[in-house]
Amino acid sequence: MAAYNPKSLKAEEFISDEEIRATLAYAEANKNNVALIDEILEKARPQKTATGCVCAGLTHREASVLLACEIPEKIERMYEIAEEIKLAFYGNRIVIFAPLYLSNYCVNGCLYCPYHLKNKHIARKKLTQEEVRAEVIALQDMGHKRLAIEAGEDPVNNPIEYILECIDTIYSVHHKNGDIRRVNVNIAATTVENYRRLKEAGIGTYILFQETYHKESYERLHPTGPKHDYAYHTEAMDRAMEGGIDDVGLGVLFGLELYKYEFAGLLMHAEHLEAVHGVGPHTISVPRVKRADDIDPDEFDNGIDDETFTKLTACIRLAVPYTGMIVSTRESEAVRRKLLRVGISQVSGGSRTSVGGYTTEERPHDTEQFDVSDQRSLDEVVRWLMENNHIPSFCTACYRAGRTGDRFMSLCKSGQILNCCHPNALMTLAEYLEDYASPETKKIGNEMIERELGRIPKEKVREIAAQNIKDIRSSNRRDFRF
Ligand code: SAM
């Protein structure tokens, strides 16, 4: 059996099954140890410094104790601290994005995904560059500035050259005042060379869900195709970092395996990236398995209820305070509302999970990857966020200003967010309101901007932001950023 070593580059050593099992046993033994739980909660709290705020984060063992704890008042305390952390480092901004499905051709055999090779029922589709352009125009017309591109794994139909060409096309479309300013990429594990090419194409985050950290289950759930190789998949983020991508996004597909096991594995992966590359994951996503074409989520035994899911999200927030957290439209409005309170910093909105889905009137189901629970339009999501006192942000400034990897993390830690991210959020919201919002959303949004401008600490920054917003409202000048 491989010994646990966070600095190792071997999957089975940095995600050690033995260490996860020991962690789960430790967590179970201490789940009612109130003194220890209080100590861990205290460690997780944000501490004020002369220049801002710092958070110690938690180890996978500490966080696993909290996840195991079932004492209601301690869980309530976890939620409070998760919210404090979120407000300290991310403020009340919520970044908005949409997925763009390029192709559902796939050679893998993933048991939970309708794109699996043996599914002869699902329509296969791959966008041409003309179709990519049309989808991007539709997304720009909704108001999106940030996309996550998605594709199945198929070296013949979706080679890296195809993905790179699509990225070029996406960045080249400027429809009316529209612009896609950040393309995140969710494609299968690949080589260092291909990651280098993605970096050169100007991508934002490289996202790859682990699906499950449990090696045996992983192999059973991915019986055929290149994705079957657990080590190649699990070591992908190290190759991405080697290829120069320093913003990487982790995720587990919850429901496949025991959530406590996945939770420990996920945090060990984050610790590994920090130990080897000096920077943790840029984002963590929390997808749950959903119904889809020939997929019935009830066939997987490890589904978690909404309460457990909320607790899990809060515990991730406590463990990795500087990592962005993403929840997609797989979740309903009610669940998203709960999760936003306990640490989520990014949501998708107005999403379609089918190939070519944005250019059709009706939501198409024939090529869909999973059922979308939150089917509201982007305008409705934006308004709903504001009604719940979140600032919808279309900001893409950081990576364009070179603030990636540890430079982004330093911004987060330095307390400069209110002088940088906050005005950027307001300026990009002003763009959205001018160009795309319904009258009601625009009214609520403009009131929010007035209120929130007053919270920018530096007078000079406040004045510039207010002036830029005036310009946005009175002219076609766009894309201001700090
Ligand atoms: N093909 C790429 C790969 O191999 O990693 C990733 C793209 S895939 C379009 C994006 C993610 O959707 C997968 O990593 C998986 O976690 C998730 N997914 C697949 N089937 C799902 C389902 N039935 N419900 C919810 N999410 C699903």
pLDDT digits (tens, 9 = 90+) for 94-109: 999 999 999 999 999 9
Structure confidence at residue 84 as a pLDDT band (50, 70, 90): very high
**Partners of 295 in the beta sheet?**
292
Question: What is the Å distance from ligand 1's center to 61 Cα?
Answer: 28
- Give the per-residue pLDDT at 2: 76
Cα 413 to ligand 1 centroid, rounded to whole Å: 32
pLDDT in tens, 171-194: 999 999 999 999 999 999 999 999
Q: Is the pLDDT of residue 354 over 80?
A: yes
pLDDT at position 381 is 98
- Measure 72 CA to ligand 1 centroid, in angstroms: 33
How many CB atoms within 10 Å of residue 128? Answer: 11
Work out the average pLDDT over 152-162: 98
Take atom 14 of ligand 1 and give the residue whose Cα is closest.
209
Q: What does the mean pLDDT of the chain come to?
A: 96
Task: Give yes or no for residue 15 having a pLDDT over 70.
Answer: yes
What pLDDT, on the 0 to 100 scale, is given for residue 417?
79
**Which atom number of ligand 1 is nearest to the Cα of residue 291?**
23
For ligand 1, the distance from its centroid to the CA atom of residue 253, given in whole angstroms, is 8
Please choose from 102, 103, 112, 113 the residue to mutate so as to test ligand 1's pocket, defined by most ligand atoms within 8 A of CB: 113
3-class DSSP state of 453: helix
- Taking the C-alpha atoms of residue 190 and residue 153, their distance in angstroms, rounded to an integer, is 10
- Six token digits for residue 233: 């998949």
Phi then psi for 200, rounded to 5 degrees?
A: -65, -30
Check whether 4 has a pLDDT greater than 90: yes
pLDDT at 418 over 90: no
User: What tens digit of pLDDT does each residue of 189-214 get?
Assistant: 999 999 999 999 999 999 999 999 99
Work out which ligand 1 atom sits closest to the CA atom of 153. 1
Closest residue by Cα to residue 96 from 364, 374, 342: 374
Burial class (CB in 10 A: 0-12, 13-18, 19+), 110: buried
pLDDT higher than threshold 90 for residue 419: no
Residue among 56, 59, 57 nearest 23 (CA): 59
Maximum pairwise Cα distance, the chain:
66
Name the least confident of 19-23, 28-32, 84-88, 469-473.
84-88
Angle at 361 between CA 360 and CA 366, to 5 degrees: 55
* pLDDT of residue 52 exceeding 80: no
pLDDT (average), residues 114-129: 96
* pTM exceeds cut of 0.85: yes
Region 445-455: what's the mean pLDDT?
97
Query: Rounded CA gap, 110 and 284, in Å?
Result: 21
Q: Span 347-375, mean pLDDT?
A: 92
Can you tell me the distance from the alpha carbon of 240 to that of 423, in angstroms, rounded to the nearest whole number?
31
List phi, psi (to 5°) of 187.
-125, 165
Handedness of CA 21, 22, 23, 28 (dihedral sign): positive
Query: What does the pLDDT average to over 38-48?
Result: 96
Which tens digit of pLDDT belongs to each residue from 214-227? 999 999 999 999 99
3-state secondary structure of 434: helix
- Asked if residues 94 and 392 have their Cβ atoms less than 8 Å apart, the reply is yes
Ligand 1 binding pocket, CB closer than 6 Å: 112-113, 150, 152-153, 186-188, 208-209, 211, 227, 253, 287, 289-290, 292, 295, 330, 369-370
Strand ranges (E), 134-265:
146-151, 182-186, 206-207, 248-251
When pLDDT is averaged across residues 454-475 and rounded to a whole number, the result is: 96
Length of the chain: 482
Q: Give, in order, the Cα–Cα distances in Å from 482 to each of 99, 137, 220, 397, 461.
A: 26, 26, 48, 7, 9
3-state secondary structure of 450: helix
Q: Tell me the mean pLDDT in the region 260-280.
A: 98
Q: Which amino acid is at 222?
A: H
Band of residue 399 on the pLDDT scale cut at 50, 70, 90: confident
pLDDT score recorded for residue 330 = 95
Helices (H), 222-342: 230-234, 236-242, 259-277, 306-319, 333-341
For residue 113, report the distance from its CA to the centre of ligand 1, in Å.
6
Look at residue 37 and tell me whether its pLDDT is greater than 70: yes
Q: For residue 219, what are its two tokens? A: 């192999």
Q: First CA to last CA across the chain, in angstroms?
A: 50
Q: To 10 degrees, the CA torsion angle through 8, 9, 15, 16?
A: -50
CA of 9 to the centre of ligand 1 (A): 25
φ and ψ at residue 150, rounded to 5 degrees: -130, 140
Asked if 70 contacts 92 with a C-beta cutoff of 8 angstroms, the reply is: no
Q: What is the pLDDT of residue 1?
A: 65
173 neighbors 153 (Cβ within 8 angstroms): no
Q: Above 90 in pLDDT, residue 312?
A: yes
- pLDDT tens digits along 227-259: 999 999 999 999 999 999 999 999 999 999 999
- Above 80 in pLDDT, residue 51? no
Centre of ligand 1 to C-alpha 397, Å, is: 28
Among residues 322, 281, 321, 319, the alpha carbon closest in space to that of 410 is found at: 322
Q: If you take atom 6 of ligand 1, which residue's CA is the nearest one? A: 187
To test ligand 1's pocket by mutation, which of 97, 110, 112, 331 has the most ligand atoms within 8 angstroms of CB? 112
Say if residue 439's pLDDT is above 90: yes
Ligand 1 centre from 203 Cα, in Å? 19
For a mutational test of ligand 1's pocket, the pick from 239, 253, 330, i.e. the residue with the most ligand atoms closer than 8 A to its C-beta, is: 253
CB 180 within 8 A of CB 145: yes
For residue 83, how far is its CA from the centre of ligand 1 (angstroms)?
28
Say if CB 91 and CB 418 are below 8 A apart. yes
Residue 405 burial (C-beta neighbours within 10 Å; 0-12, 13-18, 19+) = buried
